Amino acid sequence: MKNTLKVQRAIKNLTQAELAEKAGVTRQTINYIEIGKYIPTTVLSLKLAKVLGKPVEELFILEKGD
């Protein structure tokens, strides 16, 4: 699964730390998700979608292997 977090963050002009705070997780969690090391739970992806103003499907995209 790939994601567009970096771009969406840029659009909203948010740092990883700021996004983390708004989503209620740590900065490292956001960093790892952005890099693809972690797959977030659905609760977290819904929160990120809410904060970033985009549907989950625009933030996270399934890939071949998934």
Partner DNA sequence: ACTTTTTGTCAAATATACTTTACTTTTAGT
Partner DNA sequence: ACTAAAAGTAAAGTATATTTGACAAAAAGT
Please identify, using beta-carbon distances, which residue of 25 and 56 lies nearer to DNA: 25
Helix (H, G, I), strand (E, B) or coil at 13: coil
- How far is the C-alpha of 64 from the C-alpha of 54, rounded, in Å? 23
Does the protein bind a second copy through residue 6 (CB under 8 A)?
A: no
Q: Give the shortest CB-66-to-a second copy separation in angstroms.
A: 5
Nearest one of 18, 8, 14 to 58, comparing CA atoms: 8
- How far is the C-alpha of 49 from the C-alpha of 64, rounded, in Å? 23
Report 26-55 residues binding a second copy (CB under 8 A): 39-47, 49-50, 55
- Interacting residue ranges for a second copy, rule: CB under 8 A: 1, 39-47, 49-50, 55-57, 60-62, 66
